[in-house]
Chain A
Amino acid sequence: MRRTGWIIALLAATACGSGVWEMPVFPDGGLLKGAAVLPDPSAKFLEALFRIEGSTSTFGDLVASRARDGGVSFFGSGNKAYSVLRPGCVDDAGTLVLEGYWRNATGGRTGLIRLFVEPPEAAVALCRGEEPVDPVGLRGAWGSGGDLPDQPLHLAWESPLKQPNPPFRVVAHRGGCRTMDQCGASENSLEVIRIAGSLGADAIEIDAQLTADGVPILYHDLSFSDRLVEGVYCLGPVSEFPLAHVRALCKLEYGEQVPTLDDALRVIVEETSLVAVWIDIKTPDAIAGCVAATNRWRARAEALGRQVRFVHGLYSDEMVDAWLRSDLPSDAVCLVELDPKDVRGAGCEVWAPRWTRGPMGSKVKRVQESGRTVAFWTLDEQEFIDVVLTDARPNAICTNRPGLVFQRFQMVGESPWGPNP
């Protein structure tokens, strides 16, 4: 008995809990507390490819930066590290500082970053909303955990970003990241959609299915389980829970509500700069409700002058058949994960092959030349991303590592063969 007791104790000791990642923040708001907001057009001048001098083992040699929704993010390939910063003008607009956090997407490493724009003349110009004469650089420090940054970091301007035409889109899986990726919000939540742009996404993929009372909600699995939700009475098939019960009984891993599709589309249209949403419809009975929701929010986007593409994902023959049987508006856009012939047969605009079929370069080119777009899913590993970017030249890649795909496109990617916008 005693002999088996220590074996059980040893097993228990090695089985650590998963926990959730908490974003480190500067104490007392850091230098951004009381800083003036950087004029919107200026953030674009911080978008570039930068060469890292020092600390390359954490961030890699080259990082690509992007400005979205008031923030500036930096994406490296080394350790899949990324940084999400916010800019602010201090010292009577004579200094432009960026503060935020960095994170290793596949590990637990994280910390704070503080960078200053140089030369000082560039910082002054940007804070005035003017284009700087010379390319900008960034100098500052990074730290580990909640410690103040103390390790020097210098980002030297290397080159402007590629501007592919037709464009290449980074599609963030499950709204931004999966719950298991611990990016600070649960998958398929409003919170993760709000941060998707800062994680490197141009567009997002979300999962939709119906509650018992016919409301499309965002949830991936067909059953509620402790993998994604908390709540003693939140277990079992999603289709057996009315929305009111979902609202009352279920909380996502980071404490968020399970959103309705309407909630999610409102956030996409009104609160983000995302250009497309791929709605992976999980069951045939959800097709009509999803299309009705996208119609409402497409009209709202048009009223706001926003260009958002709403794409309905069909992953199986059964879903394609249900789509064809449904009485849908002729302008509803669909995506098929099967073969190009299935895409044509369903009258869809997007072919979304699983990456494990290989890059299929010539087939991808033919599909693109026929006026359809191609989006591979779901690619997370740098070596595979590079092969697909160079051999297939797709229009989009769906990924759990949007920042990595963005950085790799800037390093090795080329414009898709088509279709012309």
Chain B
Amino acid sequence: MALGATPTPRQTYLHYPTGVGAYEWGGGIGLTLDILSTRLVESEQRFVPRLTGAFRYGFPAGFSLEATLDAIVLVNELRMGLLWSIDTGPVAWALHDRLGLWFGYIGVDGFDTHAVGLVQYPGASVGTIIAGHHLSLAFEVILVHAQRVDFGDASVSRVNTGYGGFSLRLLLESPVGPGVLYYGATFFQASPDYQLWLAFSDGRRKLQFVRFHLGYEF
């Protein structure tokens, strides 16, 4: 680096385990699309698209703070969490714990319903860099702590911790211009009612579905 030149800021990555350094931050916007099978959600294939915004801020010693907001009115979720990461050469590792507050409203014909819930997502991720592309694989457990549904003039609340399933996400972050394009998919095996409580039955069998991710980080 030439003396006096402005250093080029290091590119940040929202999803790669060691994607932000100390006191660095990154943000991103994107889309997610859940595809739910007809075997589990009745007569038609259900596509659930959501807008998503994410933020990550790095602290010393590998820690970083994360926040994500997914929104489509019907179901929205604000997640905040803490992540600790370490680089071990060819791969980077991270442990995280996130808390999600989800909330939704259905006011279409036949519904007069609000719902909120509190979900925890502890997990771990591993990543590696291939030709400049940051590949990461993240595993999360879904713990459901509380749910409340207001339907018309009545409401029902539940407060207890239950295992809601798990998810496995494979994501690639590729530098594009000044930012990063990310794309990937998450496989879920989760209780039908861990989220989208109103749309599904009371079955205890785990629901298998896929969520696709596409977005841009800056």
Contacts and interface: CB of A to CB of B under 8 A. Distances in A.
B158 A383 contact: yes
A359 B203 contact: no
A159 B39 CA distance: 41
Contact of B152 (A10, A18, A178, A358): A358
A338 B109 CA distance: 8
Nearest to A227: B38
Nearest to B40: A180
A383 B156 contact: yes
B201 A400 contact: yes
A256 interface: no
A180 B39 contact: yes
Nearest to A387: B154
Interface in A356-383: 356-361, 380-381, 383
Interface in B163-218: 168, 170, 187, 189, 198, 201-205, 208
Interface string B26-51: 00000000000011101110000000
B106 interface: yes
Contacts of A7: 137, 170
A15 B205 CA distance: 12
Interface in B119-166: 137, 149, 151-154, 156, 158
A357 B110 contact: yes
A104 B205 CA distance: 12
B205 A107 contact: yes
A213 interface: no
Given A18-B39, A225-B38, A180 B203 contact: yes
A35 to B, nearest CB: 35
Contact of A359 (B149, B152, B202, B205): B152
Contacts of A358: 112, 151-154
Given A15-B208, A106-B203, A180-B201, A356 B151 contact: yes
Interface size, B (range): 20 to 34
B203 A181 contact: yes
Contact of A106 (B39, B110, B204): B204
Contacts of B109: 338
Given A15-B208, A337-B110, A381-B202, A222 B43 contact: yes
Interface in A393-421: 400-401
B128 to A, nearest CB: 8
Contacts of A360: 152-153
A412 to B, nearest CB: 14
A391 interface: yes
Contacts of A10: 168
B168 A356 contact: no
Interface string A106-142: 1110000000000000000000000000000000000
B111 A357 contact: yes
B152 A357 contact: yes
A103 to B, nearest CB: 13
A400 B39 CA distance: 16
B110 A356 contact: yes
A221 interface: yes
Nearest to A108: B205
A174 to B, nearest CB: 11
Choose among A222, A338, A381, A388 the residue with the greatest number of B CB atoms under 10 Å from its CB.
A381
Contacts of A387: 154, 156
Contact of A357 (B151, B168, B202, B204): B151
B11 interface: no
A355 B110 CA distance: 8
Interface string A171-213: 0000000101100000000000000000000000000000000
A233 interface: no
Contacts of B168: 10-11, 14
A354 B110 contact: yes
A220 interface: yes
Nearest to A106: B204
Contacts of A391: 153-154
A10 B189 CA distance: 12
B164 to A, nearest CB: 15
Contacts of A263: none
A226 interface: yes
A381 B151 CA distance: 13
B197 to A, nearest CB: 9
Contacts of A359: 152-154
Contact of A380 (B40, B113, B158, B201): B201
Nearest to A359: B154
Nearest to B150: A358
Contacts of B170: 7
Given A18-B39, A225-B38, A356 B198 contact: yes
19 contacts: A7-B170, A14-B168, A15-B187, A80-B202, A107-B205, A181-B201, A221-B42, A221-B43, A225-B38, A226-B39, A227-B42, A338-B109, A356-B151, A358-B112, A359-B154, A381-B156, A381-B202, A383-B158, A391-B153
Interface of B: 38-40, 42-44, 106, 109-113, 137, 149, 151-154, 156, 158, 168, 170, 187, 189, 198, 201-205, 208
Given A106-B203, A223-B43, 4 more contacts: A11-B168, A221-B44, A222-B43, A356-B110
- A-B CB proximity, top 3 nearest: A358-B152, A354-B110, A221-B43
